[in-house]
Each structure stands twice: as C-alpha cells, then as structure tokens.
Amino acid sequence: MSSLLKRAQEVQIAQLTDRGVDVDDVRARLRSQVIETPSWGYANSGTRFGTFRQVGAASSIAEKLADAGQVHKFTGVAPQVALHTLWDLPDEAAVESVPAAAAEAGVRVGAINPNVFQDQEYKLGSLCSPFADVRQRAIDHCVYSVEIAGKVDSNVLSMWLADGTAFPGQDNLVERKHRLLDSLRAIYERMPESMMMLVEYKLFEPAFYATDLPDWGMSFLMCQKLGPQAKVLVDLGHHAQGVNIEQIVANLIDEGMLGGFHFNNRKYADDDLTVASINPYEFYLIYNELVAAELGPNPPHIEYMIDQSHNIKGKIAEMIQTVMNIQTAYAKALLVDRAKLAAAQAEGDVQGGELCLVEAYETDVRPLLALVREDLGLDPDPLGAFLASGYQQKVDAERAGRKAASTLGS
C-alpha cells in the first residue's frame, strides 16, 4: 500500500467519524455485499444487427464460471453466477458438470433463467400464446428449469418474458393476462417451498403494440395473485425516460414485494450499458432507498444481479468495473446521515434534506473502498490488478487456439 493511500484512508476515517458515521459497520456491510454476475455476460454478444466476437469470450459453461471466478477473485463480492437454462444447461451432462466447475472457479450458482423467447414457436408468445400447446411447452421448460435449480443448488427462478403483441387486434389483451396468470401459477405450484420466483417487467421490446408484463404494476399484480414465493424483479433499463425508479423501489419495498434487482444502464432504450455510466446520481438515489430499507427494522432479502452483455469492452474487465461502480454507490448510500435526513423531512426543510443526500454523494469513497478490499485480503485496485494478472492474455491464447482447431476440424 502506498503512503499516500494510507494517509487518505486515515483522513477519511477521521472525517467520517467526525460526521457520526459508524465506520466499522459500514466496512462490515461493504465486505458482506453479494453481487451476482450473469453467465451470458462472459460470452460473445451483440445487438440485433450482429454479434461482435471477442477472442477470449467464454464458449462453455466451464469457461463462463471460470471467468466469473476472476471477477469474484479481484472484487471479493461477486460469489454468485446466474445461469441460463437453454444456453448453459442444454442437457444432463452440462447440468452435472456445474457443481464441480463452480467450486473450482470459487463461485456458486445463483438464479436460473428459463428461455421462452428464442424458439420459433414463441413468435406469438409463450406463456401468453393463443395456442395451448405452445403455452404448455413454455410451462414444461420452466418446470424443467425448477428441477435443474434443485440439482445445482439454486433457489431462485428468474422470469423474463418477451410476450406481447405487435399489432392492434392481434390478440385479446385481457385473455392474454388470464393465460399469463394461469401459466405462471402452473410453474409456481411446482416450485419447492425454498424457491423464489422473480417476475421481471420491461416497458417494450420485442413487442411493439402491447407488452404483457410492461411495468412494475403488472408484475406486482401477478406476484400478488401467485403467493408469497413470487416477488417483483426491477431492471434499471426497463423503464421509460424520466421514470422515478427510486420511487418504484421504495414502494415495492414498503409492500414487501421487491425480490430482485438487475443492474445495468441505458441512454435510450436498451439496457446493456455499464451501471452508473450515464447518470451516477440517479443510481445513487436508487441505492439510497435500498440502503434505507436495509438499515430499517425489517430489512428485505433482495437478489442483486448484474444483467449486462458487454459487446465492445472486455468481458471480465467490464464486469469488474461494473461491480466497482455498484460498490461505490452502496458505500455512498451508507454514509447518508439518516437521523439528520429524517429531521429535515419532518421539519419541511427541503434544502436541508437534499443536502443530506448531496453530502454523502459527493464523498470520495475510494479510500474507504480500498480499505474494505484490504480487509478482504485483496488489491485495493481490482480492475488494475486483473489487467496486470495476465489472465485475459492467457485465455485469449487458449480459446483462440481451441476455436481455430475446431474450425479446421469441422
């Protein structure tokens, strides 16, 4: 550790202590943070116009888990990996390989994600399809995902649907709602008591006229009708411009219905930008609501996951950068003077309340986070340490060779 960093840490601890911050508690919370990364974030991806290939991108579940292990190795707070049934676990051999591969990589399995949007049969919908046989196929796949979860020690089923209609008159909107609930209920009833179903929503795409799960209200309604093992999943990129996401988060927490959170960002309509890359203050305000609940009398259990596919940045390096951005927002939200904020709100002190939030947001938490990483036995600069480790160059060489050999032999 440099003497400059050591001095910065000493100054920050003294300043935070003077502000009444329980630094030991903040450090403990930051050390125990758990962020899930997605298996698909380590594979080749692109836009609807094409795929942008990277030499070292993972092409097997073992490689994806190994790369996720690097993110956890250098950050210390990313021990879980979300898996995709169709892309990661297409057969029993793949399922059986996961526990050992995850253990070797130093990670564990997080949420299981069914795929009911890719096959041609789902052109008019999956769980909402007008055709009973298509709906049953989608239900069967989701039930299979529940069974897989039990084999890989996962207790979260994450549901995102592409269902919707592209044209007026294409289908009866109310009947689609009924089909959706009936289908979700058929899956829900096959879940063990230990499992949670997270129901995600998205404003639009790929449906252009009506989306069957377009907002938090519809997800809330479905979960409410299903039962206590169903919760709403909020994805930061799935809202209209200008929507107050922190208010949605606060209300879902108050109703006991926020179960999952997908980190990402978007400038216009897609959601694969690095979290906090566009409006870091908005992200901090969202985290302020999450921390307010965490520090309250009945803290909710929320599954925190990154849902980004990085197309032109390095897969692992970008995932580490994303984790670091999340840690930064969390650290700043933990520094809010809650008593002072509550007093300002009770007194109608508009400016005072805002300044409470601004003070914490403007705090440079890099010395604090470096201290937390040292607590965990890690390098204070995770991204720099990874880039210097040689891992990316190693897998670039190994995977390029395997892919070339595979191509020549085909």
pLDDT tier at 271 (50, 70, 90 boundaries)? confident
Enter the CATH code of domain 34-336.
3.20.20.150
**Cα 86 to chain centroid, rounded:** 19
Q: Indicate the angle between helix axes 216-226 and 245-254, nearest 10 degrees.
A: 20
Query: Is residue 235 left, alpha or beta, with left meaning phi > 0 and alpha meaning psi from -120 to 50?
Result: beta
Name the one residue in this structure whose structure tokens are 């299979």.
144
User: 78-135, pLDDT tens digit by residue?
Assistant: 999 999 999 999 999 999 999 999 999 999 999 999 999 999 999 999 999 999 999 9
User: 288-340, pLDDT tens digit by residue?
Assistant: 999 999 999 999 999 999 999 888 899 999 999 999 999 999 999 999 999 99
Residues 353, 342 contacting (CB under 8 angstroms): no
Question: Is the predicted pLDDT of residue 406 greater than 50, yes or no?
Answer: no
Element (H, E) at 175: helix 173-188
Backbone angles phi, psi at 221, to 5 degrees: -60, -45
Q: What is the rounded average pLDDT of the residues 31-43?
A: 97
pLDDT of the residue at 245: 98
Q: Strand, helix or coil at 241?
A: coil
| Cα 3 to Cα 6, 7, 9, 138, 388, distances in angstroms | 5, 6, 10, 59, 21
pLDDT of the residue at 311: 87
Which residues, at least 6 apart from 401, have a Cβ–Cβ distance to it below 8 Å?
Answer: none
User: DSSP code of 263?
Assistant: E
- Pairing mode of beta strands 196-200, 230-235: parallel
pLDDT of the residue at 307: 96
Residues 158, 101 contacting (CB under 8 angstroms): no
User: 242-263, pLDDT tens digit by residue?
Assistant: 999 999 999 999 999 999 999 9
User: 334-357, pLDDT tens digit by residue?
Assistant: 999 999 999 999 999 999 999 999
| Cα 396 to Cα 1, 53, 374, distances in angstroms | 30, 12, 29
Residues 118, 126 contacting (CB under 8 angstroms): no
Query: Is residue 261 left, alpha or beta, with left meaning phi > 0 and alpha meaning psi from -120 to 50?
Result: beta
- CA-wise closest residue to 82 among 159, 163, 30, 141: 159
User: DSSP code of 48?
Assistant: T
Positions of E strands within 192-264: 196-200, 210-211, 230-235, 258-263
Preceding omega of 214 cis (within 30 degrees of 0): no
Q: Can you spell out the DSSP letters for 297-342?
A: SSPPP-EEEE----SSS-HHHHHHHHHHHHHHHHHHHHTS-HHHHH
Q: How far apart are CA 85 and CA 89, in angstroms?
A: 5
